[in-house]
Structure 1
Amino acid sequence: MNTTLVPPILQNKDPDAPSIFTAEGLLREARRQKRLEEHPVPAVCLLDPDGDIVRQLAARGLSTRCPFWACYHTDLHRFTWEGIEIGVVGCAVGASFAVLVAEELFASGCELLISVTSSGQIAQVKEPPYFILIEKALRDEGTSYHYLPPSEYSHIAASLLPVLEETRKSLDGVLCGSTWTTDAPFRETQAAIDQHRATGILAVEMEAAALYAFAQARQKSVVCVAHVTNQMASIEGDFEKGDADGMQDSLRIVVAIARAWKVSTDHTEVSGVLG
């Protein structure tokens, strides 16, 4: 193959080779510099790329900032919702940022990571806002190619498919399907939208393909949710999430996923704190 015709993102990649730079090493040095003790994060963690959930929780006095979170770029907040303790990181938007934080969360004790990201409507299945449990995501971003060989889609782990099905059954109006992950939201052209709609893609977002590639490569539990809130600002009154910027609706999904995951991992009913 003439490598001059292959884009750099696909050159010299060996997903099986160990990385010299690791999340564990970064966190070790961050703790040293910041004089932080090492404490685990909650077993269930949430990525909130828009930051609305974090802001709404803080405004209501429902969350506390974790003083031991060693990430250089973000804050981790802890809260309890319906008896489940959750760690949440806000504003980690985009594939590379989301995976950077995901690596650090799992290196710090996370066992299940849920991402709820605002998404643009591709297939007009209903009026926004609504939620899609993402089964697979088109890899139109760069980060996933560092974790997995080239392919069209990244997929949720097969072991988590029952979690999606149980969550969908337990909540009215939640869909399952595929999304398009892009690194360039302001390059969503009509031709691209039409093409992806024709292949059955439901929405466009910026993190899922990379998070699922990371999860597969590292054998971690990650569930991505698209909160379809907009039609790419092509109409007036777009980007409305509902009451409290969609916080309560989003956390209803998060709790349902966490409970279904816990049942799938230890086959016991969950009524309180996950441990």
Structure 2
Amino acid sequence: MTDIEGRPPILTYKHFGSPSAFTPESLLREARRQKGLAEGSVPEACILDPDGDLVRRLKTEGRAAADPAWSCYHTELHRFVEAGIEFGIIGCAVGAPFAVLLAEQLFASGCRLLISMTSAGQLVAVRPPPYFVLIERALRDEGTSYHYAAPAEFSAIDDALMATLRGAFDDLRVPVLRGATWTTDAPFRETLEAIATMRAKELLAVEMEAAALYAFARARAKAVLCFAHVTNQMGRIEGDFEKGEADGTTDALGVIVAAARRLMEVPPAPGRAS
């Protein structure tokens, strides 16, 4: 079914300039009331960890503590300190709708910088996995972004954020590339034909959150940064999905800290590796 101009329903009746009747502040308020929680704020730097590897490692090491004031109905938020920076982190935030649901609530709760560190499948074989891609733009093959921004092929990172990050990862032991990705809502519909199309567009990897997070960030004027941790070739070779040391968490934390330090102007912590 289409409208009078031939557009599918997902592209119609969005009214991008109008405020939402349902707000994250209202949801959090009612959750606090029902759970008997005091109002609180989250750390200024927060992380979405779709695979949950970072959260599991931090909890196993006794370095992450659950935030008792986090009133989200669907998740737990943990706090931890890395290289002198306090972070809030939410694990298993998979997919565009869930990632943006949490982003809305985090920024309503005091977050100033949100970093998403998602695993991704390799499209263009620029080097053997694992490695990282700082996502400059993401193809909008999901539904959430179309509720925040008018139809367009890509969502993009804020130009000022990208400029500020120039050179931030040069001293890391793991490569951090820059480029575009394909954000999909349907990972098990990555057909050979679709993959060929995305490679022709020179997209480096496929993931599930960046296009929506960047559309949200633009619409709300929030600081959001998305990384793709390229760990696999979509299961098409034996021994795929190897992430590196400690399930890739050592290198992922290094990338996250380097970005947060630069964007929040935090000096290196004495005596602690970044």
TM-score range, shorter chain: over 0.9
RMSD between superposed Cα atoms in Å: 1.5
Tell me, in whole angstroms, the C-alpha distance in 2 between the residues paired with 1:42 and 1:246.
24
Report SS of the residue matched to 2:117: strand
Answering whether residue 31 of structure 2 is matched by residue 30 of structure 1, we say: yes
Tell me, in whole angstroms, the C-alpha distance in 2 between the residues paired with 1:222 and 1:157.
8
- 1:194-230 Cα offsets, whole Å, 9 max, x none, are 1111111000000000000000000000000000011
Any gaps of 5 or more consecutive residues in structure 2? none
With over 3 angstroms needed to count, the CA separation of the structure-2 counterparts of 1:216 and 1:136, relative to structure 1, is same
Give matches, 1:37-186, under 5 Å: 37-172=38-173, 173-186=175-188
- 1:168-188 Cα offsets, whole Å, 9 max, x none, are 434351100000000000000
Counterpart of 2:267 in structure 1 is 270
Report SS of the residue matched to 1:167: coil
The more displaced of 88-97 and 166-175 is 166-175
Tell me, in whole angstroms, the C-alpha distance in 2 between the residues paired with 1:175 and 1:154.
18
Answering whether residue 197 of structure 2 is matched by residue 216 of structure 1, we say: no
Tell me, in whole angstroms, the C-alpha distance in 2 between the residues paired with 1:196 and 1:167.
28
CA contact (8 A) 1:3 1:11 kept: no
Report SS of the residue matched to 1:128: coil
CA deviation after TM superposition for structure 1 residue 4, in Å = 7.1
CA deviation after TM superposition for structure 1 residue 129, in Å = 0.6
CA contact (8 A) 1:118 1:227 kept: yes
Counterpart of 2:246 in structure 1 is 244
Tell me, in whole angstroms, the C-alpha distance in 1 between the residues paired with 2:164 and 2:58.
26
CA deviation after TM superposition for structure 1 residue 123, in Å = 0.4
Answering whether residue 33 of structure 2 is matched by residue 5 of structure 1, we say: no
Tell me, in whole angstroms, the C-alpha distance in 2 between the residues paired with 1:61 and 1:82.
16
CA contact (8 A) 2:3 2:12 kept: no
Tell me, in whole angstroms, the C-alpha distance in 1 between the residues paired with 2:140 and 2:171.
29
Counterpart of 1:203 in structure 2 is 205
Counterpart of 1:188 in structure 2 is 190
Counterpart of 1:228 in structure 2 is 230
Higher helix share: 1
CA contact (8 A) 1:168 1:175 kept: no
The one-letter code sitting in structure 1 at the alignment partner of 2:191 is T
TM-score, scaled relative to structure 2: 0.95
TM-score, scaled relative to structure 1: 0.94
With over 3 angstroms needed to count, the CA separation of the structure-2 counterparts of 1:35 and 1:242, relative to structure 1, is same
CA deviation after TM superposition for structure 1 residue 271, in Å = 2.8
The one-letter code sitting in structure 1 at the alignment partner of 2:193 is A
The one-letter code sitting in structure 1 at the alignment partner of 2:165 is L
The count of corresponding residues between Structure 1 and Structure 2 is 268
The one-letter code sitting in structure 2 at the alignment partner of 1:132 is V
Report SS of the residue matched to 2:168: helix
Report SS of the residue matched to 1:149: coil
CA deviation after TM superposition for structure 1 residue 2, in Å = 4.9
CA contact (8 A) 1:168 1:176 kept: no
The one-letter code sitting in structure 2 at the alignment partner of 1:36 is L
Counterpart of 1:266 in structure 2 is none
Tell me, in whole angstroms, the C-alpha distance in 1 between the residues paired with 2:211 and 2:97.
11
The one-letter code sitting in structure 2 at the alignment partner of 1:28 is R
Report SS of the residue matched to 2:39: coil
Alignment identity in percent? 60
Any gaps of 5 or more consecutive residues in structure 1? 264-268
Report SS of the residue matched to 1:165: coil
CA contact (8 A) 2:169 2:255 kept: no
